[in-house]
Amino acid sequence: MSASSKINDSPAHFMVLQAIARGLDTIDKIATATRKSKDEVNAIINDLINQRLANMTEKRRFFGGKKIKFTITETGSSLLGVKHQELQQSNDRLQQLYESGDKQQLQSYMDSNRMWIPFMLMSGIMNALFFASIFSFMGMAMSPSEQAAVDSAGTEGAAGGDAASGSDTSGADGTAGDAGSADTSSMGDTGGGDMGFDGFDEGGFDF
């Protein structure tokens, strides 16, 4: 499998790309928003940079050391937009099957698209209440990642929307949602963190 195919088939890569597009530009912020380990986020960002979907910039600190920031590229925005379109169609189909009451077809379609649900919730493509309704209707139990995504989406909704909406995440088609985990965007660096990109320090004072 090529690196580009690996990314296109990986919800985790799109979750990180979505976080970067929303202005969450450090390892700490992205790890918090996606609920992934810093090591995993670091590896994913390496993949995104190698595929020219994200950029890394270094900012020197007044007292020495470097601060690493990440931004999405035009190619990354376009890919994110295409994936949003694709998953919006999947969400529309899920709604049709749910409204039809056909549990067998709904179960089959859920199984084939389930790995994308945390990303769909994070990006606002799928409404958390609708997702919970499907599981109640089917008598199914959520996985830990699905429950975390629902909880995160619910917290974000209660907070009043996307705090990082100043970033252009629409990609080619302007379909990027405004729900998800952008409530973490107000978090600063945790300070003293040692899990920066390729070992660089993200902590300390930022001038």
Count of alpha carbons within 13 angstroms of residue 131, beta-carbon side = 27
Helix or strand (DSSP H, E) at 110:
helix 103-113
* pLDDT at residue 41, as a whole number: 97
Residue 57, beta-bridge partner list: 69
**Domain spans in the chain, listed from the N-terminal domain onward:** 3-77+181-199, 81-159
The CATH number assigned to the domain with range 3-77+181-199 reads: 1.10.10.10
Helix or strand (DSSP H, E) at 59:
strand 54-60
Question: Is 112 in contact with 202 (CB distance < 8 Å)?
Answer: no
Q: pLDDT digit string (tens) for 32-88?
A: 999 999 999 999 999 999 999 999 998 877 777 788 899 999 999 999 999 999 999
Give the number of other Cβ atoms within 10 Å of residue 127's Cβ.
Answer: 17
Residues 194 and 190: their CA atoms lie apart, in Å, by: 10
Residue type, 108: S
Q: pLDDT digit string (tens) for 141-179?
A: 887 878 877 777 755 544 444 433 344 444 434 444 343
**Which residue from 40, 11, 38, 43 is spatially nearest to 27, judged by alpha carbons?**
38
Query: Mean pLDDT across the chain, nearest whole number?
Result: 77
Residues 6+ apart with CB under 8 A from 151: none
Q: Lowest-pLDDT range, 71-75, 79-83, 126-130, 203-207?
A: 203-207
Q: Considering the entire predicted model, what is its pTM?
A: 0.69
Position with higher pLDDT, 34 vs 4: 34
Q: What is the mean pLDDT of residues 111-138?
A: 89
Tokens of 49: 């940079």
Question: Is 70 in contact with 59 (CB distance < 8 Å)?
Answer: no
CA distances from 81 to 17, 59, 130 (A): 11, 29, 22
Residues 143 and 116: their CA atoms lie apart, in Å, by: 12
Is the pLDDT at 91 greater than 60? The verdict is: yes
